[in-house]
């Protein structure tokens, strides 16, 4: 099992926030095999809460998402959280 830090910050359009210096609210355990099967480095995965409705239908206000901080290729498909 690996621990994923869940930060007490929100992913939203507007004011920029950084993970550095932000408090960790809690951590969740995920099987290491799930992380490695997806090519993820658990040290680079964090959780944040979605705030706002600009992505309704995909992400709802209040949803929790995992963010892979190592994925920096803007040509990839998906949702992105920029910090």
Count of structural domains, the chain: 1
Reported residue count of the chain is: 83
Q: Report the C-alpha gap between 17 and 34 in whole angstroms.
A: 28
In a domain, 20, yes or no: yes
In a domain, 74, yes or no: no
Residue 26: domain span: 2-68
Predicted confidence at residue 3, as pLDDT, reads 87
Q: Which two tokens stand for residue 3?
A: 């621990």
Which tens digits make up the pLDDT trace of 16-29? 556 666 778 888 89
Taking alpha carbons only, the member of 59, 43, 57, 75 closest to residue 11 is: 59
In a domain, 79, yes or no: no
Quickly count: other Cβ atoms within 10 Å of residue 2's Cβ: 18
**Which stretches of the chain score pLDDT less than 70?**
10-21, 82-83
Q: Report the C-alpha gap between 64 and 10 in whole angstroms.
A: 9
**Contact present, 12 and 52 (Cβ < 8 Å):** yes
């Amino acid at each position: 099992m690996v621990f994923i830090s869940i930060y007490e910050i929100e992913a939203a359009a507007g004011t920029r926030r950084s993970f550095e210096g932000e408090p960790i609210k809690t951590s969740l355990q995920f099987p290491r095999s799930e992380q490695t099967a997806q090519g993820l480095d658990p040290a680079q995965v964090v959780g944040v809460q979605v705030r706002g409705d600009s992505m309704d239908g995909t992400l709802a206000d209040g949803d929790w998402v995992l963010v892979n901080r190592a994925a920096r290729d803007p040509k990839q498909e998906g949702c992105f959280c920029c910090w």
